[in-house]
Chains A and B, each alone.
Chain A
C-alpha cells in the first residue's frame, strides 16, 4: 500500500501532494528525504511493539532491535510468583526468535554504550548501528544514591523481573514463621503505580498460607496509597487483617544490611527478616547518557504526538522513561505508546501527515488467588495543553474485587506477551 502510493506519487512528480489528489486519510506531510533505518533500544513492553508495528505498517523500513538479554521477563504478573499463584517465571518469559522471523526484525543481543544524536548512531558491545529514527525504550533505572548502603543482593528490589524476583521469593520461603517482612515504596512517579500494593497483597497471601504469625510492614514514602486505594484497603481487610501493617509517609533513606534494618528519614529504625526495598526511579541509564533526560534529572520529555524527544531530534522515547502526561508508567502504556510512535515514524518516513495519538491503559492487580481489580484509561492529545490527557469518563477502577477480572487478567498477560513475542 505504502509502496504503491509512493511510486504513484513519484510518477506524478515530487511536487504532487496526496491532499491535492483528494486521497482521504492520506494527506501529505513534510517531504521526507532521509533514509529508512530504524533502531530500537530495549526489548520490553515498548521496544518489541515499536519494532513489530513499524515492520507491519511498512516492510520497506529496516528495523534493528537491540536488547542486552536473550529473553525478557515481565514485571506485570511477577507478584503472582511471589504469592505462589505462579510456580515459576516461565509463563512470563518471552524470547525474540518468532518476533524476528515473523516480521523481519534484526534482533541484536548487545549492551548499548552510547548514542550520538548528531551522527545518528548507536554504539554497542556488538558494534555501531546507524539510524534515521531511533526508538529508546529502556525502562527504569534506580536512584540507589538516595538510599544509603543499598545492596540489592541483601534487600532485593525485585522491580525488574528475573533473578531479583527469584531471590525475594527464596528469602520469603526461608523466613521462619512469625517473621517480619518489610516492604519499602518510593515516592511516585515510579514504574507500575499499583504494583507495590499488589505485591503487599501477594506477600500477605503467602504469609497467611505458609508462615503463620508473620506480618508485612509497608513503609510508603507517599502520603497515601497511590493507586486503587479503596479496593486495596477492602481486600486487605477482607483477607489479611492483622497481617498487613501499612504506614504512609515513611521514606526509607538508609539501610543496614548486617542489622537488617531500614532507616526512615535517618531517624526511625524498622527491622525485618526479609526486606524488599523498591528504590526511587528514573529513566533508564542510556537515556541519561544520551542527554534525553529533562530538567527534573529523572524523566524524558517528549512530543505527545510522536514521542520524539523534545531535546534530541529523531530520537523517540517510549515507556517508563518518557513523560507521557496522564498515561501511567505501565506495561500497557508502553505497548500503546509504541504503536503511536511507530505509526508516526512510518507516516513521517512516507511524507504523510501525522496522526493524533489515541492510547489505552489497562492494569490489573491481584488481591488474592482468585480476585483482581483493574484501572483503565483512554488517552488523547489536548492540543491547547500540548499534553496527553485522559478522555473523560474512561479512567476508573473496578467497583469491587472481582473473580471475573482475575480471569480476564490471565488472558491480558497471555495476549500482551504474545503480541510482544510473535
Chain B
C-alpha cells in the first residue's frame, strides 16, 4: 500500500514537473510580490514603521538592499532577507518598485513641526532631497509621503550613528539638533 502510494505520487509528481521544467527564472514581479506581506501590495505600505517601496528610486533601492546584505546599513529582518537575493534579482526588484505608483500615506503630523521642518529642509536638505523630498538625485531616496514612524526611526539611526551617512550628508546635518531632525521627519511625512 505504502509503496503503491509513493510510486503513484512520484509518477504524478514527475509528470507534472516535466511539464514545468522549462520555467523561466523568477520574474521581477515574482520576486517583488513576495515583499508585499510586509511592504504592502506593490509596495504601498499600510504599516507606519514600514516604508513604502512604490515609486522609490531604483538607484537608492539597489544601494539599500546591498547595504543591508553587507551589513553597512543596520537592519533587523532586512539584513537577513537581503542575503537571499543576487545582484541581478535586486536590480529586477528595484525596477519593479520604481515603476509602481507612489501612494502618500495618511499619516498624522504636527503642523507646527511641519513648518519648522520646512525651514530646516530649506537650509540643510533640499540640495539632495529635491522638490520637498519628492524627487531624488543619485542615491538619495524619495522621502516625501513616507510614514512618520518610519522616518523617525531612520532619523534616530542617523543621529545615533547606527546608519552611516555620506560625507556630504554628514557635513550638511552637523548643525541640526534632535528637534530639527524630528521636524524634518514631520515635514517629509506631510508631503503628498
Report the separation of the CA atoms of residues A356 and B48 in the bound assembly, to the nearest whole angstrom.
Answer: 32
CB of A351 within 8 A of chain B?
no
A414 to B47, Cβ gap below 8 A?
yes
A415 to B34, Cβ gap below 8 A?
no
Number of interface residues of A (CB under 8 A): 64
Bitwise, A403-422 to B at CB < 8 A (1) or not (0) is: 01101101111111011001
From known contacts A295-B5, A411-B49, infer whether A416 and B23 are also in contact, taking CB-CB under 8 Å: no
CB of B38 within 8 A of chain A?
yes
Instruction: Determine the residue in chain A with the shortest Cβ distance to B28.
Output: A25
Report the separation of the CA atoms of residues A422 and B103 in the bound assembly, to the nearest whole angstrom.
Answer: 15
A408 to B5, Cβ gap below 8 A?
no
CB of A129 within 8 A of chain B?
no
From known contacts A294-B5, A356-B25, A358-B31, infer whether A415 and B20 are also in contact, taking CB-CB under 8 Å: no
Interface 9-mer from B75-83, B133-141, B164-172, B179-187? B75-83
B-side contacts of A294, CB under 8 Å: 5, 9
Interface 9-mer from B11-19, B106-114, B117-125? B11-19
CB of B176 within 8 A of chain A?
no
From known contacts A301-B13, A303-B17, infer whether A355 and B47 are also in contact, taking CB-CB under 8 Å: no
CB of A165 within 8 A of chain B?
no
B-side contacts of A414, CB under 8 Å: 46-48
A310 to B12, Cβ gap below 8 A?
yes
B-side contacts of A379, CB under 8 Å: 84
CB interface residues, B 29-51, toward A, < 8 Å:
29-31, 33-41, 45-50
CB of B27 within 8 A of chain A?
yes
Quote the shortest CB–CB distance from A245 to chain B (angstroms). 31
Report the separation of the CA atoms of residues A378 and B8 in the bound assembly, to the nearest whole angstrom.
Answer: 30
Instruction: Determine the residue in chain A with the shortest Cβ distance to B74.
Output: A404
A407 to B20, Cβ gap below 8 A?
no
CB of A398 within 8 A of chain B?
yes
B17 to A376, Cβ gap below 8 A?
no
- Choice from A353, A391, A394, A415 contacting B46 with Cβ under 8 Å: A415
CB of B100 within 8 A of chain A?
no
Report the separation of the CA atoms of residues A390 and B81 in the bound assembly, to the nearest whole angstrom.
Answer: 11
Report the separation of the CA atoms of residues A313 and B5 in the bound assembly, to the nearest whole angstrom.
Answer: 16
A-side contacts of B29, CB under 8 Å: 343
B-side contacts of A359, CB under 8 Å: 34
CB of A305 within 8 A of chain B?
yes
Report the separation of the CA atoms of residues A295 and B10 in the bound assembly, to the nearest whole angstrom.
Answer: 11
B-side contacts of A355, CB under 8 Å: 23-27, 30
CB of A53 within 8 A of chain B?
yes
Instruction: Determine the residue in chain B with the shortest Cβ distance to A397.
Output: B80
B24 to A411, Cβ gap below 8 A?
no
CB of A354 within 8 A of chain B?
yes
Report the separation of the CA atoms of residues A344 and B23 in the bound assembly, to the nearest whole angstrom.
Answer: 10
A412 to B37, Cβ gap below 8 A?
yes
Bitwise, A329-360 to B at CB < 8 A (1) or not (0) is: 00010011001100110000000011111111
Report the separation of the CA atoms of residues A56 and B8 in the bound assembly, to the nearest whole angstrom.
Answer: 36
CB of A393 within 8 A of chain B?
yes
CB of A213 within 8 A of chain B?
no
- Choice from B9, B17, B34, B49 contacting A336 with Cβ under 8 Å: B34
Bitwise, B34-72 to A at CB < 8 A (1) or not (0) is: 111111110001111110000000000000000000000
Chain A residues with a Cβ under 8 A of chain B: 25, 27, 29-30, 52-53, 56, 294-295, 301, 303, 305-306, 308, 310-311, 313, 332, 335-336, 339-340, 343-344, 353-360, 362, 374, 376-380, 383, 386, 390-396, 398, 402, 404-405, 407-408, 410-416, 418-419, 422
A-B contact pairs, 11 of them (CB 8 A): A306-B20, A311-B9, A356-B24, A362-B77, A374-B76, A376-B81, A378-B81, A378-B85, A394-B84, A405-B76, A419-B46
Chain B residues with a Cβ under 8 A of chain A: 2, 5-6, 8-9, 12-13, 16-17, 19-27, 29-31, 33-41, 45-50, 76-77, 80-81, 83-85, 89, 149, 153
Beyond A310-B12, A419-B40, list 9 extra A-B contacts (CB 8 Å): A295-B9, A301-B9, A313-B16, A339-B36, A353-B23, A378-B83, A386-B13, A418-B46, A422-B41
- Complex A-B, nearest 3 residue pairs according to Cβ-Cβ distance, in ascending order: A378-B84, A411-B47, A394-B84
